[in-house]
Structure 1
Amino acid sequence: MRNGTETLTPHLHVHRDRGHTVLEFHGEIDIIAALEIVPFLDAATGRPGAQVVLDLRHIEFFDCSGLRLLHRARLRVLDRGGRLRLVCTHPLALRIFQVTGLDALLPPLPTLDEALGQSEATSGSV
């Protein structure tokens, strides 16, 4: 069940759903947006055993600053024994993930339902 969404910055909305913290990225994820997002990303990924979903379905632009956010989130969650899942359908972002190899470490999923119901064996926990 989904709880209320909290808008933390123009680029980040957060809500709880089925025991996961879902961070929805919005608009252009560049260096300015990343600076706004980092404190909230760190709070969500800093808890032991955190179950986090990064939802990129609402982005319009995604650069290397966004990649750093995803990499940071992945390391923080895995270091604390949690799980991180990624939802993305943006063609350019998917291409960037493929070229950089991030898609092998954090496989993008097409829907939030799929990320929330995904088994631990395929949750980017490698």
Structure 2
Amino acid sequence: MQLIPRHDPHLVVRSTGGLTVAALRGELDLVLVRHLRPELDALVRECDALTVDIRYLTFCDATGLGLLAHCAGRTRGRGAHWRLVCDQPWILRLIRLTALGDLLCPEPGLPDQPDPSDPGVTSPVS
């Protein structure tokens, strides 16, 4: 996969050694879902291992959960590895209430992932 650097305040993507991490920021609502869906769909199609980090979201509605469920289902459907990083109790509660836990399988974090809000982290996106 060739990554093209560009500035997007809502999505930071980095790939290393076959693992792609997409960190989402902001409010994952209908407007942001429409903006991010094409880029996330491209990652889902091309990655062998995709981690979506939503620890930096400030809001997530049903449309946002639908996008995450779509990405998880498509990633696993291709036989690729899916991981969702989430440590926010309010989002974890939404995942539990919507019975998406088995599909999304949220994890609290990964110690080897740099903080995407770090200015040294670039934001290349496909």
SS at 1:9 equivalent: coil
Hey, which of these two has a bigger chunk of helix by percent?
Answer: 1
Distance in 1 between residues matched to 2:102 and 2:25, nearest whole Å:
24
Q: Percent of aligned positions with the same letter in both sequences?
A: 36
Return the alpha-carbon distance in structure 2 between the equivalents of residues 38 and 8 of structure 1.
Answer: 16
Give the whole-Å Cα distance in 2 for the aligned partners of 1:59 and 1:71: 16
- Tell me which residue corresponds to 1:15: 14
Partner secondary structure for residue 97 of structure 2: helix
Query: 1:65-76 counterparts in 2 under 5 A?
Result: 65-76=63-74
Decide whether the 8 Å contact of 2:85 with 2:106 is kept in 1.
yes
Q: Gaps spanning 5+ residues in structure 1: where?
A: 1-5, 116-126
Q: Partner of 2:110 in structure 1?
A: 112
| TM-score, normalising length: structure 1 | 0.78
Aligned pairs, number? 110
Which has the bigger relative contact order, CA under 8 A and spacing at least 6? Answer: 2
**1:91 paired residue number:** 89
Unmatched runs of 5 consecutive residues or more in structure 2: 114-126
* Aligned counterpart, 2:37: 38
* CA offset digits 1:12-44 (Å, max 9, x no partner): 111114521111010111111111110110110
| 1:47-99 deviation digits (Å, cap 9, x = unpaired) | 2x620001011111011111111111012112211011000011211100011
